Amino acid sequence: MTAPSTFGLSSEARNLHWLLTNLVEEVPGILSVAVVSSDGLLLLSSDHTRNAEAREARTETRTGPRGSSADLATIVSGIGSLTIGASKLMDFGPVKHTMVAMDEGSLFVMSISDGSLLGVHGSADCDMSVVAYHMALFVGRAGHVLTPELRSELRKSLETESTGSPR
């Protein structure tokens, strides 16, 4: 995984980056991760070039979310909105997590306490229970620090990173 620069970020932002990096590096089968705000904006993501050897064995047209963490964030946000709508229609309470199993991989979406979402794209051979467990740990650790100020800082950090401007 290519870790983004955390120079100039608050200790809370650096801690979230560390938690995300740890999630991706420590859990086998995780290909990419995105944290998305309740309004659908990407806040934090991994570099899905990790596990390149596993994907090189597959055809070029099946390399996970097409090209960017923004694609994963869009998918996570859409699935989150759909499941929240379903939960309201069914009157079963808030959505805790969603899992989509596909032939070539899995997608996991878990709610974070502030309405943000954690999305994980996993390989076909990932252990879904291990991924879900580690996602729950991430949510438990990140949920209480993901304040409006921190969300704003993370968003600005991503914008700065994408434009190449110094922090």
What are 32-85's pLDDT values in tens digits? Answer: 999 999 888 899 998 634 434 333 433 344 444 445 678 899 999 999 999 999
What is the percent of the chain with per-residue pLDDT over 90, rounded to a whole number?
50
| C-alpha gyration radius of the chain | 15
How many angstroms separate the CA atoms of 112 and 23, rounded? 15
Write the DSSP symbol of residue 85: H
Which of residues 97 and 165 earns the better pLDDT score? Answer: 97
Position 111 scores a pLDDT of 92
User: Among 108, 101, 114, 59, which residue's Cα sits nearest to residue 83?
Assistant: 108
CB 24 within 8 A of CB 44: no
Top-tier CATH class for 11-163: alpha beta
User: Among 67, 69, 5, which residue's Cα sits nearest to residue 33?
Assistant: 69
CB 40 within 8 A of CB 84: no
Specify the DSSP element, H or E, that contains 108.
strand 105-111
Domain limits, the chain: 11-163
